[in-house]
Structure 1
Amino acid sequence: MKDKSKILIKFGERVREIRIERGLSQEQLAHLADVHRTYIGMIERAEKNITLINIEKIAKSLNIEIAKLFND
């Protein structure tokens, strides 16, 4: 397995943290963001290098500013 980029790991952890704070399942977040459920899981496990478009979709679905996905 390839080494995972630190930014992907931190981003995935942040998405998971906020998703759980909002009481959303991966499936619910995926539906809101119009992406596949497995895609959310892959992001949270740092297996996907997410695009800016999908970062925006997730931020909107979580009702937060994009920057909040990168800040603790």
Structure 2
Amino acid sequence: MKNKIKVLRAEQDWSQEALAKRLGVSRQAINALERGKHSPSLQLAFDIAHVFSVDITDVFIPEVSELPVTEE
């Protein structure tokens, strides 16, 4: 899942450590999220949106899988 965490964090002039403390997670967790190596839990995704005062869709961009279209 793609996200804008790094951009939003930079806009606030927050380090990864500062954001991690606000969320109660490790700096390594923030780093993994920013690099797309980890997807957050639903609760963490909402918490991230909340600390930036934005909608969850302003932070996370789901990658749409290409499922075959079937006709009914």
Q: Quick check: TM above 0.5?
A: yes
Measured in 1, the distance between the counterparts of 2:57 and 2:7 equals 15
Q: CA RMSD in A?
A: 1.3
| Bigger Rg, which one | 2
Q: Return structure 1 stretches of 4+ with deviation > 6 angstroms.
A: none
Structure 2 residues not aligned, in runs of 5+? 62-72
Instruction: Report the TM-score, using the length of structure 1 for normalisation.
Output: 0.75
Is the strand fraction higher in 1 or 2? Answer: 2
The structure in which a higher percent of residues are helix is 1
Aligned to 2:43: 53
The count of aligned residue pairs is 61
Q: Deviations over 1:9-58 (max 9, x none)?
A: x21xx110111011100000000111111100000011112111110111
Return 5+ residue gaps in structure 1 as ranges. 1-7
